[in-house]
């Protein structure tokens, strides 16, 4: 039987520079996600995004543009998680050095064309990114269960 964890809210950012996007992954895993992390109790989504980005990469994020939400349901170590990802776009800070400040997270910049060959989580991230680049309209992406 799978135990259920509380619903989590995560703040994620789409950093773009020309034809490249910044992705994160847990060391030892083959899947990727947008940088950011969970919102702490009493913290706003925007404050969490700024904190997580600073902790993960040392970036100070300036202007944020809301691009949508993506639901993610997954099972890890016998626990069922439901996560609501609140997604923003931001310019990669000028002169930013790409590298993780956290021991268990890697950051990498990949070309937009290579996204089709990657395991992105949630799976709807590809649609979020492509839709945003095409029409600049925020969108909701439900979980694929």
Q: Report pLDDT digits (tens) over 55-88.
A: 888 888 888 999 999 999 988 888 898 999 999 9
Which residue range is the domain that position 54 belongs to? 3-141
pLDDT digits (tens, 9 = 90+) for 79-134: 898 999 999 999 877 666 676 666 778 888 899 999 989 999 998 888 888 999 99
Structural domain total, the chain: 1
The pTM assigned to this predicted structure is: 0.89
Domain holding 16: CATH number? Answer: 3.90.79.10
* CB neighbours of residue 69 within 10 Å: 19
**Whole-number pLDDT of residue 100:** 66
């Amino acid at each position: 039987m799978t135990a259920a964890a509380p619903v989590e809210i995560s703040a994620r950012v789409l950093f773009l520079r020309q034809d490249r996007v910044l992705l994160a992954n847990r060391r030892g895993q083959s899947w990727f996600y947008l940088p950011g992390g969970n919102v702490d109790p009493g913290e706003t989504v925007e404050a969490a995004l700024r904190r997580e980005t600073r902790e993960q990469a040392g970036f100070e994020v300036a202007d944020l543009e809301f691009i949508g939400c993506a639901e993610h349901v997954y099972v890890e170590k016998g626990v069922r998680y439901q996560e609501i990802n609140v997604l923003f776009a931001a310019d990669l800070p000028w002169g930013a050095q790409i590298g993780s400040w956290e021991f268990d997270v890697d950051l990498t910049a990949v070309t937009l064309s290579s996204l089709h060959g990657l395991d992105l989580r949630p799976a709807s991230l590809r649609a979020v990114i492509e839709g945003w680049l095409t029409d600049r309209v925020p969108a909701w992406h439900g979980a694929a269960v």
